[in-house]
A and B are shown apart, each in its own frame.
Chain A
Amino acid sequence: MAQSTETVPAGAAMRSAGLPVARLRELSALASRAFPIVVVAALILMVALVALRSGGTTAAAEVRNGLTIGAVYALIAVGYTMVYGIIELINFAHGDVFTLSAFYALIFSQHLGFDISGLGASGAGGFFAALIILLVLTMAAAGLTGMLIERVAYRRLRNSPRLAPLITAVGVSFIIEGFLFATQGATNVRTGKANWLLGEAVKVGGVSISWRDIFVFFSALVFMFLLQSFVRFTRLGKAMRATAQDRDAALLSGVNINRTISATFFIGSALAAAGGIIYSVKDDLIVWNLGFRFGIIAFTCAVLGGIGNLVGAGLGAFLIGLIQVFGGQLIGSAWDNAIIFAMLIIVLVFRPVGLLGLRVPDRA
């Protein structure tokens, strides 16, 4: 029965239901250990089914689509996972920071007199020069926005009831969405894209992979790698890890908690901004409430990978991307959300700590 939980002291559970409980617990532990393999196996099965039904080319094309959408999810998911790791807040506004920064990028590029499509004519060199300028500006703007949000809406509530910052997060999310709705309109906005990016770079097994796909996938990897190195090797990264592990102890050892949390928000939002630009390059259509769905899915990715775990967030994002496109192929894309969330529920039931997560103490 459901009594086989970690929260019930072993003795009590044993007494109440005897042997079956113990066996069930073993099974549950086994399921938990085997889970990553099961997920990968299920994914392979899905790929095989699609390949059988619609041909290998379709399946390979869907792998490409899944990895590129997963790259965008990954950049958003790390922001969730960092913020959750450090202050245990589901930062509902994060998905909207992603949308906001996509619009930042659009506005900056218009004001600076170039857009991504215009620079496409001058080839890769010009594109990357513009892209780097745009990335720096947008990431800085989004990072500052994230810091501002933390300062205004979350910092004062750090020692309040845990639901209070969650509600302000929802409020901030409404404010950002409302701002975009009011200033950018209710319809899709085109960002424009570089034509050369759409050209075919390589052809793998009959599937053409464009420069855009390569750009999207590898820029996400680069950002993840940079973030990982930052968190692991710099002083500030160390402070972030310390704060996440034990805020009071970190405070006692001289970590400036406020600055560390601000930095976390800055970095998380800046990565969401990178995600926003990459998404603009990828799909070129942005709309005011885009961030809501992306935010929820990205949080799912973070949970799937093991929340608080950066590599896990990336891995979870690519998995979710693949599951989304293959599930859509098999069942119908109207069920996208249902597939993702059913996946999430299964993960949490069988392996609550996520794929790469560690066992954490239960807190009611």
Chain B
Amino acid sequence: MPDAEVAHADAPDIPAVPEDVPLPATASATAREESSAVFWALVVGGLVFVVAGWLLPWFVEQTANGIGFSPQDVVSSAPTGIGTVLVYVIGAAMVVLLAGVAYDAYCTLTRRGVPFRYSRTRAAVALVGAVGTVVVCVLVVSREEPLFGSLSPLATGSPDNAVWMTLTGFTVLTFVYGLRDWVSAHGQVAFAGIVFLIGALFPLIFGQSQSFIVWGASAAAIYTLLALGLNVVVGFAGLLDLGYAAFFAIGAYTCGSLSSSVHGLHFPFWIVLFIGLAVAALFGAALGAPTLRLRGDYLAIVTLGFGEIIPDAANNNLFGATGGPEGITGIDHPSIFGFNFGIDARPYFWALLVIIAVVILLLRNIQRSRLGRAWAAIREDEIAAAATGVNPVSTKLLAFAIGASVSGFAGAFFGAELGSVTPDSFQFAVSVTVLSTVVLGGIGNNTGVVAGGILVSFIIFWMLAHLQEWLGTFGNKFGLPTLGTIDYSRWVYIVYGAILVGIMLLRPAGLLPSRARKVELQSGTESESLAAVQGRA
């Protein structure tokens, strides 16, 4: 990894600031830390799935939103159908693995024995459990009649969210724990594989509850894509951009203008996507060219201003082309090989998954290229980089344009997906959300950014949106009906703010910090103060 080299080369001149955080001594130590972070992220993710799967039946009954039987039913009513054997196999695997966890914990706590000793056994058991789980999932999805005999009247016929979520969580846990060594060595690959597999299956399983998929498509995937683009600017090149939503808006409005009846233009969607990309990149370069020689924070404030101007211009119907506050409606839905995407959210979601995968691969290649190394050099010491032949302005300009182009691409997709664009969708809050996604996930680390995208959009668009419903149901279940009477929509801001502050305080470098960034950021801690301060004032 070139980044590791950069980090390593930079390590010697770390100043001895008293409050400094202990630094990992070598690049390999940081690599280990990073993979361990991925490991724990996967473990927590798996646990969330298991717990959510167990809790889900309580809620789906209330919301009548894809009703199914619950894992509790499976256990309590002695399965009789074809699933029985599989359930026992999975159960046995679970018991063995739990025993393994207990043994490891015992070893670690008492400092006796060797933890993680039976890694091969564990891996084999985990694979058995995972295969069993996958088969159960396939059967649940494909069979019309209940898998486990007749359970409750609620359970008839429908593929089941709760079982699927529990089993998925279990599979993730067994996979990660059983193949702990492999996951530790290939954290990013494991993470990418699991996320994309679950992501691809997501719409199939939750076929009945559209809101899940709409959430996944229009929020999580778009925000992840935006965060990946912003990561180029903020993470790779170290330029703070607070107006990223402007490029998103530019892409969306380009799409709206070129493929709707507003101007009578109906360009094919897949061309519009790239026009949106190009226009946003042009704007990025146009904004960046005069301002990129500014210091970091000034750049931040310029981009912030730009991010305010663009929605304002759209809102004020600039040149009569943006439709004012109502925006542009009736944008053509995309189609591919004669298949029209229509208003079903699922094709968009899958398309976005493919796009995200491609973007990640492209960005990873760029990051490892000459340009990526130039970004790292500029980020760490601009003057030294310039002295060694890196052109700071064109390098930064490229970062800006590439970041903007991803945003424009996402915007064009967003416009076609919703069928309409309004200025409201591109306010400062969007820029802040994307930035917090990048920072929470781990600046400069694509894996972390994807994790941050999933987490932040889950919190904002799913958890906070359903807080009222969930706590109301919870209160009714446990005899605390007052829980449901509080108006939570008033407290959403506080909860989100507290989550942001809490995560940042606990993990200042993000959930999955980038190893190169980590060393670099902590070495840059001595205050580079501003000379022109109050003394002259």
Residues of A within 8 A of B (CB): 2-3, 5-9, 12, 82, 84-88, 90, 152-153, 156-168, 170-179, 181-182, 228, 231-232, 237, 240-241, 243-248, 292, 296, 299-300, 303, 306-312, 332, 334-335, 337-338, 340-342, 344-345, 348-349, 352-353, 356-364
Contact = CB atoms under 8 A, between A and B. Distances in A.
A163 B296 CA distance: 11
Given A2-B290, A175-B498, A177-B493, A360 B530 contact: yes
Contacts of B20: 159
23 contacts: A5-B393, A7-B386, A7-B392, A90-B301, A160-B509, A160-B525, A163-B443, A164-B439, A167-B435, A171-B498, A171-B501, A177-B493, A232-B534, A244-B530, A337-B312, A340-B305, A344-B302, A348-B298, A348-B301, A349-B291, A356-B536, A356-B537, A364-B383
B382 A364 contact: yes
B1 interface: no
A153 B403 CA distance: 29
B526 interface: yes
A310 B508 CA distance: 31
A228 to B, nearest CB: 7
Which residue, of B293, B378, B436, B526, has the highest number of chain A Cβ atoms within 10 A?
Answer: B293
B293 A334 contact: no
Nearest to B537: A310
Interface of B: 17, 19-21, 234, 238, 240, 289-298, 300-302, 304-306, 308-309, 312-313, 315-316, 378-383, 386-387, 391-393, 397, 428, 432, 435-436, 439-440, 443, 490-501, 504-505, 508-509, 517, 521-522, 524-537
B308 A296 contact: yes
A310 B535 CA distance: 9
A172 B432 CA distance: 13
A348 B494 CA distance: 34
A349 B169 CA distance: 52
Nearest to B285: A2
B500 A171 contact: yes
A163 B439 contact: yes
Contacts of B293: 2, 5-7, 352, 362
A159 B21 CA distance: 8
A2 B398 CA distance: 13
Nearest to A149: B501
Given A167-B436, A245-B529, A303-B298, A161 B508 contact: yes
Contact of A172 (B380, B497, B508): B497
Which residue, of A156, A161, A335, A353, has the highest number of chain B Cβ atoms within 10 A?
Answer: A161
Contacts of A6: 293
Which residue, of A167, A181, A353, has the highest number of chain B Cβ atoms within 10 A?
Answer: A167
B387 A362 contact: no
Nearest to A342: B309
Contacts of A228: 537
Nearest to A8: B386
A364 B440 contact: no
Given A168-B501, A168-B504, A312 B291 contact: no
B300 to A, nearest CB: 7
Contacts of B496: 171, 174, 178
B237 to A, nearest CB: 9
Contacts of A247: 527, 529
Secondary structure class of chain A's binding surface, majority of residues: helix
A176 B435 CA distance: 20
Contacts of A352: 293-295, 298
B23 to A, nearest CB: 12
Given A246-B529, A360-B295, A168 B505 contact: yes
B301 A248 contact: no
Given A5-B392, A163-B240, A342 B305 contact: yes
Contacts of A178: 490-497
B16 to A, nearest CB: 11
Given A7-B386, A182-B494, A231-B537, A357 B440 contact: no
B509 A164 contact: yes
B295 A363 contact: yes
Contact of B500 (A174, A182, A312): A174
A6 B306 CA distance: 24
**Which 6 A-B pairs give the minimum distances between C-beta atoms?**
A178-B493, A341-B305, A174-B497, A171-B500, A364-B382, A160-B508
Contact of A85 (B291, B378, B504, B534): B534
A182 B495 CA distance: 12
Contacts of B313: 338
A5 B504 CA distance: 35
A335 B312 contact: yes
A312 B42 CA distance: 51
A363 B309 CA distance: 27
A164 B308 contact: no
B493 A164 contact: no
A345 B289 CA distance: 12
Contact of A364 (B296, B504, B530): B296
A73 B527 CA distance: 28
Contact of A337 (B309, B531, B534, B537): B309
Contacts of A292: 428
B509 A161 contact: yes
A299 B494 contact: no
A73 B19 CA distance: 36
Contacts of B296: 162, 363-364
Contacts of A308: 530, 532-534, 537
A170 B379 contact: no
Contact of A181 (B315, B493, B535): B493
B534 A2 contact: no
Contacts of B301: 90, 299-300, 303, 344, 348
A257 B293 CA distance: 31
Contacts of B505: 153, 156-157, 168
A307 B530 contact: yes
A229 to B, nearest CB: 11
Contacts of A157: 504-505, 508
B534 A173 contact: no
Contact of A161 (B298, B443, B501, B537): B443
Contacts of A2: 289-290, 292-293, 393, 397
A362 B295 contact: yes
A159 B19 contact: yes
A13 to B, nearest CB: 10
Which residue, of A157, A174, A244, A309, has the highest number of chain B Cβ atoms within 10 A?
Answer: A174
B392 A175 contact: no
A8 B391 contact: yes
A341 B308 contact: yes
Nearest to A86: B533
